[in-house]
Amino acid sequence: MRLHYFLIGFAFSFFLLSPLKSDNGVHQAIPENFIRLPRLVIPVVQNSYARANFTILLVVEAHGREKADELRKFTPRLTNLAYSDIYGLFAVVWEPGYHINLKELKERLVRRYNEAFGKDMVQDVLVEIIND
C-alpha cells in the first residue's frame, strides 16, 4: 500500500511539478523594439586581483521599431558601452556584500546610450539576469 502512495507521489511530482519542456538556454523571441545583448561576464578587479564575477543579461528597449532597427546594427557597440560602464562602476564601488542598485544601473546605461547614439534612442534597459 505504501508503494502505491510513493508511485502516485512520484508521478505527481514528475508530471505536474517539473517543467515538461526545457528551453536549454534558448531565448524566446522578443518584440521588435527590444534588442537583447549578449551575456556579459564582468570581473570585479581591485588591486590587481579579481574579487568577484557578475553575469548580466540586458535587453535594450528603443523608442519604436525604426530606432531599434538603427540600434541593432550597433549591437557590438551597445555591448561594449554596457561592459565598460559596469566594469568601471564595479571597480570603484564594489566591496564584499555589495548589492547592485538596479534602478541606478539602468538609469546610467540609458543615459550612456542616449549620449552615444542620440537623444531619445533608448527608452529603457531591462535586466533579465544578474548573478553575483
Q: What percent of the chain has pLDDT over 90?
A: 42
SS3 content of the chain, % helix, strand, coil (to 5): 45, 25, 30
Q: What is the pLDDT of residues 94-131, one digit of tens each?
A: 777 777 788 988 999 999 999 999 988 999 999 998 88
pLDDT of residue 30: 77
Q: Report the distance separating Cα 131 and Cα 100, nearest Å.
A: 10
Neighbours of 56 (CB within 10 A): 20
- E strands, the chain, are 34-36, 40-46, 49-62, 122-131
Q: What is the pLDDT of residues 71-83, one digit of tens each?
A: 999 999 999 999 9
Please state, rounded to an integer, the average pLDDT across all residues of the chain. Answer: 80
**Domain boundary assignment for the chain:** 34-131
This prediction has a pTM of 0.71
Residues 6+ apart with CB under 8 A from 14: none
Nearest to 129 by CA among 66, 41, 3, 46: 41
Mean pLDDT of 35-59: 87
pLDDT of residue 48: 79
Measured over the CA atoms of residue 116, residue 121, residue 126 and residue 129, the dihedral's sign is negative
